[in-house]
Chains A and B, each alone.
Chain A
Amino acid sequence: MSSVQRSPSSPTARRVVLDAADITRALTRISHEILERNKGSADLVVLGIPTRGVALARRIASVMGQVEAHDVPSGSLDITMYRDDLRLRPARTLEPTEIPPRGVDGAVVVLVDDVLFSGRTVRAALDALGDVGRPRVVQLAVLVDRGHRQLPIRADFVGKNLPTSLLETVQVSLDEYDGDDAVLISAAKETGS
């Protein structure tokens, strides 16, 4: 998803929009909203979209588990083979798909991604999910919604709405992959996101 280019010397406007504490607060809030919306954690399965969505899903499931005092299953859903730009891009490496043992049939599946942008990733995720099973309900949680949708898709749970220009890049760093938690926005158009 988002690549972090660490060039400390770069003076290009790079702004922290969420720091580690903000992210923790946002995820905690999302966890509570999910529980509230679904009246508890029964039948909940949280599936992250690789790469960073997987860690976010795990954190959300963990928070909900603490609140509910029992484990909420989480996993991952790779969407690579369902993308609509496969013919246009070099082959992407596949990421693991790990569905919790209970499966998704009849479940309330919460898809988790770091940034919601065009909506194409979520479209692919819905297709991928359909091949795994038939959930009762599918909901979407994202850490950042930066707008510019190209498909009729919206998130149910949003950490932060972040109006952006198309020229800007949103970068999400997570401790699990990048060593720290932060959401940054930079003016320069870079790869990723």
Chain B
Amino acid sequence: MKRHLLSSADLTRDEAVRILDTADELRSLADRPIKKLPTLRGRTVVNLFFEDSTRTRISFEAAAKRLSADVINFSAKGSSVSKGESLKDTALTLEAMGADAVVIRHAASGAAHRLANSGWVRSSVINAGDGTHEHPTQALLDAFTLRRHLGELDGRSVTIVGDVLHSRVARSNALLLSTLGAEVTLVAPPTLLPVGVSSWPVQTSYDLDASLDKCDAVMMLRVQHERMNAAFFPSAREYSRRYGLDDRRFARLPEHAIVMHPGPMNRGMEISAGVADHARSVIVEQVTNGVAVRMAVLYLLLSGDPDDSFASQQATASAGPDLGATQRQATR
């Protein structure tokens, strides 16, 4: 059915589980002497990054190379939103080069949708972060990490803390973790929760302390310093006091609870150094898991008949939760 991975909302529970199961098998590759599979030999994966993100690009690059794909890194920084037409021209160039998959990171929300649905390219499109919209492979690797530590996510309680308004990680995680049965709570100052969040399949709270006792995992979001100037909160110190995960709050978490962060961290701001380096912080493991999850996504998107990838039990697949009136098609 699906050729692209643009949003966590695109994934049914069965599809998401299939990606995670596949990643589980692929992760064992990391322990083998030869960390390469011939699966995508002769296929071309283009990393199209309009925004700097070394860690995401490297993760996709490693994933593609471990599957023996040819990787072309296309860094188009500086030609982003100011010259919108370059997206189309770049896409046409990639198409001419015969890309089988395009991994796109872009500052504009919806850029991956645009690339996938405009008719400019025939390749599979993987959203590696579009503006303040979504970052579905980050959510998949977070779900993967959670599953390794907590088992199945049904009924598990995950608290996501910070700048939800501007966070593509929060959006993708809220959708995916809910699809997988987890109870997600978004904690943020009221200024950093989006209008309409009440229609999301999540709980929301302004009070971090009230959310700690029962949660199985806490995911801290990066806070951009420029938000301060826009009066989203009065000062870094006040933010840190009210919404930072410090040692005192960490001590109140249940024994088994883990701490996550999509990186890069502001130590001392949203997370204390002690918590970041604690044994129950899985932040470094998230990076390792990212490669396995992205391998799984590339394998499933690029194998066989493009009309039939992810094709596990489509008939019985349960639909993911709706973010309000989510991706409804235009009336035409």
Give A residues with C-beta under 8 Å from B: 78, 81-82, 86-97, 127, 131-133
Q: SS class of chain B's interface: helix, strand, loop or mixed? A: loop
CB of B322 within 8 Å of the partner chain: no
Please indicate the chain B residues that have their CB under 8 angstroms from the CB of A82 in the complex: 37-39
Chain A: CB-nearest residue to B68 = A81
**Which of B18, B28, B38 has most chain A Cβ within 10 Å?**
B38
**B38 to A127, Cβ gap below 8 A?**
yes
Chain A: CB-nearest residue to B35 = A131
Chain A: CB-nearest residue to B42 = A87
**A95 to B25, Cβ gap below 8 A?**
yes
Query: A94 vs B20: C-alpha distance in the bound complex, in angstroms?
Result: 11
**B26 to A94, Cβ gap below 8 A?**
yes
Please indicate the chain A residues that have their CB under 8 angstroms from the CB of B250 in the complex: none
Query: A93 vs B309: C-alpha distance in the bound complex, in angstroms?
Result: 11
Q: Scoring B residues 52 to 83 as 1 if CB is less than 8 Å from chain A, else 0, what string do you get?
A: 00000000000000010000000000000000
Task: Tell me which of B237-245, B274-282, B298-306 binds A.
Answer: B298-306
- Please provide the 8 A-B residue pairs with the shortest distance between their CB atoms, ordered closest to farther: A91-B303, A94-B25, A90-B308, A81-B37, A81-B39, A131-B34, A89-B304, A90-B304
Q: A91-B299, A93-B18, A97-B25 are in contact. Are A132 and B304 (CB under 8 A)?
A: no
Query: A86 vs B303: C-alpha distance in the bound complex, in angstroms?
Result: 6
CB of B191 within 8 Å of the partner chain: no
Please indicate the chain B residues that have their CB under 8 angstroms from the CB of A92 in the complex: 303
CB of B310 within 8 Å of the partner chain: yes
Task: Known A-B contacts: A81-B38, A93-B22. Give 17 more (CB < 8 A).
Answer: A81-B67, A82-B38, A86-B39, A86-B304, A87-B304, A88-B305, A89-B303, A90-B304, A90-B309, A90-B311, A91-B311, A93-B18, A94-B21, A94-B22, A97-B25, A131-B32, A131-B36
Query: A125 vs B227: C-alpha distance in the bound complex, in angstroms?
Result: 55
CB of B117 within 8 Å of the partner chain: no
Please indicate the chain A residues that have their CB under 8 angstroms from the CB of B28 in the complex: 97
Chain B: CB-nearest residue to A133 = B33
**B305 to A131, Cβ gap below 8 A?**
no
Query: A86 vs B306: C-alpha distance in the bound complex, in angstroms?
Result: 11
CB of B198 within 8 Å of the partner chain: no
Chain B: CB-nearest residue to A86 = B303
Please indicate the chain B residues that have their CB under 8 angstroms from the CB of A91 in the complex: 299-300, 303-304, 309-311
Interface size of B by Cβ–Cβ distance < 8 Å?
24
- Chain B 1-44 interface residues, beta-carbon cutoff 8 Å to A: 18, 21-22, 25-26, 28, 32-34, 36-39
Please indicate the chain B residues that have their CB under 8 angstroms from the CB of A81 in the complex: 37-39, 67, 299
**B309 to A132, Cβ gap below 8 A?**
no
Please indicate the chain B residues that have their CB under 8 angstroms from the CB of A86 in the complex: 39, 303-304
Chain B: CB-nearest residue to A130 = B34
Please indicate the chain A residues that have their CB under 8 angstroms from the CB of B309 in the complex: 90-91
Please indicate the chain B residues that have their CB under 8 angstroms from the CB of A131 in the complex: 32, 34, 36-37
Query: A92 vs B311: C-alpha distance in the bound complex, in angstroms?
Result: 9
15 residue pairs of the A-B complex, CB under 8 angstroms, read: A81-B37, A89-B303, A89-B304, A89-B305, A90-B303, A90-B308, A91-B299, A91-B303, A91-B304, A93-B18, A93-B21, A94-B25, A97-B28, A131-B34, A133-B33
**Which of A81, A91, A94 has most chain B Cβ within 10 Å?**
A91
Q: Scoring B residues 287 to 314 as 1 if CB is less than 8 Å from chain A, else 0, what string do you get?
A: 0000000000001100111001111100
CB distance from A76 to the nearest CB of B (A): 11
Q: A81-B37, A131-B37, A132-B32 are in contact. Are A90 and B305 (CB under 8 A)?
A: yes
**A88 to B25, Cβ gap below 8 A?**
no
Please indicate the chain B residues that have their CB under 8 angstroms from the CB of A97 in the complex: 25, 28
Query: A190 vs B21: C-alpha distance in the bound complex, in angstroms?
Result: 28
Chain B: CB-nearest residue to A99 = B32
Query: A85 vs B156: C-alpha distance in the bound complex, in angstroms?
Result: 39
Query: A91 vs B40: C-alpha distance in the bound complex, in angstroms?
Result: 12
Chain B: CB-nearest residue to A103 = B33
CB distance from B105 to the nearest CB of A (A): 24
Query: A78 vs B32: C-alpha distance in the bound complex, in angstroms?
Result: 14
CB < 8 Å: which of B26, B33, B67, B312 contacts A93? B312
Chain B: CB-nearest residue to A84 = B38
Query: A112 vs B115: C-alpha distance in the bound complex, in angstroms?
Result: 46
Please indicate the chain B residues that have their CB under 8 angstroms from the CB of A90 in the complex: 303-305, 308-309, 311
Query: A127 vs B34: C-alpha distance in the bound complex, in angstroms?
Result: 12
